[in-house]
Amino acid sequence: MTSLSRPQLPSSRFAILILLAAVSLLAGLGLRDPSPPDEPRFVLAARDMVESGQWLFPHRGSEFYAEKPPVFMWMQAAAYEATGNWRIAFLLPSLLAALLTLWLTYDLAVRLWNRRAGQYAALALFVCLQFGLQAKRGQIDMVLVAMTTLSLYGLLRHLLRGPNWPLAWLGFFAAGLGTVTKGVGFLPVLVLLPWAALSWRDRKASPPVPPAPGGWRWLLGALCFVAGAGVWVVPMLWAVYNSSDPSFQAYASEILFKQTGKRYAGAWHHVQPFWYFAQVIVTLWLPGALLLPWLAPAWWRRLRRGDRRFWLLLGWSALVLLFFSASPGKREVYIFPMLPALCVAAAPLLHALMRRAGVQRILLGYLLALALAMCAMALSGLLGASEWAHRLAAQRDIDAATLRTFLFWLLAFGLVSMAVILWAWRRRVGTAVVVVTALLWMTYGLGLAPALDADSSARKLMQRVGRYIGPQAQLGMVAWREQNLLQSDRPTVDFGFKNSWQEQWAEAGPWLLEDPARRWVFVLDKAVSPCVDRARAVDIGQSNRNAWLLVPGSAWKPGCTTPAFEAEEDEKTP
C-alpha cells in the first residue's frame, strides 16, 4: 500500500459545496410535523418517555412498542429535552447523523487515498438521492448508517492503516450500539471476513506474510461489541427479570427473537424477489448508479491487482447485499449502509471519470430529466392538462390553495435547476450535480413538505375532530394510526394497536356506553362495527388515503357484540 499523507484542510471550492450541502439538509428543520409511515410512531414513543420517565420500554399508546429497540427514540427524547420543540427534536438525530456520515466518509477516503478522494467521496454520497431522503426523515435508518459507517471507519483504519486498536475497539462498540438501534447494526463486523480471506492468502504465499499481532485484543473487541449492545439490553433484561408482569417477558421475547432472527428468516411482510435491490440501486442511488458502467470495470482491475482497500470496501458491500437479498423481507433502506462504503471505493476514480465526455453527458442528461420532469408535472397540474395533481389532492384531502403552493414550488425548482444546468454546461457538471441536489432538498424542506404538512401529518384532520366534538368531549380510537394519536388535541383512549378491530370494539363499545353524551370514537371507515348505527356516525374527512368517521356514544347499540371482520387489512406494519 502506498504511503498516505495526513488529512489537510479542504479547498475553498469544496468548503463552499459541502457548506451548501449542509445548509440544504438543515433547510426546513422545525417547519413540519411527523408524517407516516414511521415518524409518528417513533415520536409517540419518545414523547411517552419524556412524559412518563420510562425510557427502557417504549410505548405506542397503551401498548409496548416492541418492533424496534429504543435507542433512536432516546435520541429524539433527548433532543426534545434540549430544544423543547418536537418539530425540531424528531428530525435532529437524522440531521446530525447525516453530517457525521459525510465527515466519516470524507476522512476515511482521505486516509485511504488523499484529500481529493475525500472530497469526491463526501460529495458523491451527498448527491445520491437516498442519502438526502433519509437525512430529511425522522427515521432510524440515517442514525443506523452513521453508526455502521463509524464502525466501518474504525475497523478499516485499523485493518488498512494500523494497527490502531483504540479505533478497532471503537468500531466494535459502534457496531454493538448500532445493533440495539436497529438489529442489523452488527453488519460492519462482516468486514473481517474479506480481511481474513486476504490474510489466509498471504500466509499461503511464498514467502509467507506473518500474521498481524492481535491475541487478547480481539477478545477485547468482542467485549466492546457486547458493551455497545449492553447499553440497552442489560438494563432491559434486568428489569424484565425483576418483573412479574408477563407483558414484560412477552416484550423481551418479541424484540430479541421475533423481530430479529425470525423476521429475517421468515419475513411476514415486505416480501420481495431476490433481485429487488437492483431496482433500488438504479433508482434511489441516482445519479451515482449511472456511473456503474465505468466504475465496475475499474473496480475489477484493482481487485485483480489485490488492492486491499478495494477488497475490503467492495467485499464488505457485496456481503451486505447478499445478506439482505437472502431474506424474503426487503425494504429499500436495508442496503443503505452500503452507500458510504461504495462512495469511498469510487472516490479515487471520480476525478478521472468526471473528465470523460460520456460521464458528463449522462450526468447532464440526469439533471435535465429531473428539471424537465418537475417543470412538466408542475405545469400540467397548474394548467389542468393532467389529472395526477387532482387525484393526489382528492386522495389526501388537499385543498386547492395548498395544491397550487405545492405545484409552484415544483416549478420553481425545475426552473432554477435549468438555470444551473445552462451555467454549468459541459464545464462544471460535477458542481451542477451538487448544486441541483442541494436545491432539491432546500425545495423539499422549505416548500414541498411544509405545504403538505397539515394533510400528511393528519394535523388538519385531528383539528377538525377537536372542533367538532368540542373541548369537553372524550375521544377514543379504533383502527387508528400513530399520526392520529400524536395529533390529537386531548388525552385520548386507545384500545390497543395490534389488537384486532373486533377486540378493540369489545372494549370501545362499553366505554362509549359509560358516558354516551360525552364520548366519541374516532375510527377508520372500513373498521366500523355493525353495532354502530351508521346513520348517526359522522364522516369527518380523509387523511393519508383513508376515510375516517366519528361515532358518538348514542350510536352504539346496547347488548350488541361485534363479530370478526372478514377482510381486516394489516396496515400497521412497522
Contact 413, 440 (CB under 8 A): yes
pLDDT in tens, 230-262: 999 999 999 999 988 888 999 988 888 876 666
pLDDT of residue 207: 58
List helix spans (H) across 267-399: 276-284, 292-304, 308-326, 338-353, 357-383, 388-396
Helices (H), 27-179: 39-52, 71-83, 86-89, 92-112, 115-127, 129-135, 140-161, 165-179
Confidence of residue 394 (pLDDT cuts 50, 70, 90): confident
Among the listed residues 276, 426, 428, the one whose alpha carbon sits nearest the alpha carbon of residue 361: 426
Residues 6+ apart with CB under 8 A from 9: none
Q: Does the pLDDT value for residue 202 go beyond 90?
A: no
Name the nearest CA neighbour of 481 among 514, 512, 526: 526
Mean pLDDT across the chain:
91
Percentage above 90 pLDDT, the chain: 79
Indicate whether 210 pLDDT > 60.
no
Q: Does 396 have pLDDT greater than 80?
A: no
280-284: average pLDDT: 96
Which of 289, 173, 296 shows the shortest CA–CA distance to 229?
173
Query: For residue 495, is pLDDT > 90?
Result: yes
Asked if residue 106 has pLDDT above 50, the reply is yes
CA atoms of 333 and 49, how far apart (whole Å) = 26
Model pLDDT, residue 424:
87
Please report, as a single letter, which amino acid is at residue 570.
Answer: D
Indicate if the pLDDT at residue 568 is higher than 70.
no
CA angle 554, 558, 560 (to 5 degrees): 120
Range 416-422 contact pairs with CB under 8 angstroms and sequence separation of 24 or more: 417/367, 417/370, 417/371, 417/374, 418/371, 418/372, 418/375, 420/367, 421/364, 421/367, 421/368, 421/371
3-state secondary structure at position 107: helix
- Given pLDDT bands bounded at 50, 70 and 90, which one contains residue 5? very low
How far apart CA 517 and CA 554 sit, in angstroms, is 7
What is the predicted pLDDT for the residue at 2? 37
Q: How many C-beta atoms surround the C-beta of residue 315 within 10 A?
A: 20
Q: What H or E segment, with its residue span, contains residue 547?
A: strand 546-552
Q: Which helix (H) or strand (E) holds 23?
A: helix 12-26
- Write down the pLDDT at residue 271: 80
pLDDT at 569: 53
Would you list the domain boundaries of the chain? 12-266+273-353, 365-456, 460-555
Please tell me the total number of residues recorded for the chain in this structure.
574
- Could you tell me the CA-to-CA distances from 291 to 101, 269, 336 in Å, in that order? 22, 33, 18
The three grid cell numbers given for residue 199, joined into one nine-digit string:
490474510
The percent of residues above 70 in pLDDT, for the chain, comes to 93
Q: How many CB atoms lie within 10 A of CB 295?
A: 18
CA distance 471 to 448: 32
Least reliable range by pLDDT among 5-14, 21-30, 273-282, 477-486: 5-14
Q: Tell me: the pLDDT tens digits for 120-135?
A: 999 999 999 999 999 9
* Residue 503 in this model has a pLDDT that exceeds 70: yes
**348 burial level (CB within 10 Å; 0-12, 13-18, 19+):** buried
Structure confidence at residue 4 (pLDDT): 39
pLDDT at 6: 41
Lowest-confidence range among 376-385, 401-410, 562-571? 562-571
Residue 454 has pLDDT above 50, yes or no: yes
Q: Report the pLDDT averaged over residues 471-490.
A: 97
Q: Are 89 and 80 in contact (CB under 8 A)?
A: yes
Instruction: Give the cell for residue 303.
Output: 481487485
User: Does residue 160 surpass a pLDDT of 80?
Assistant: yes
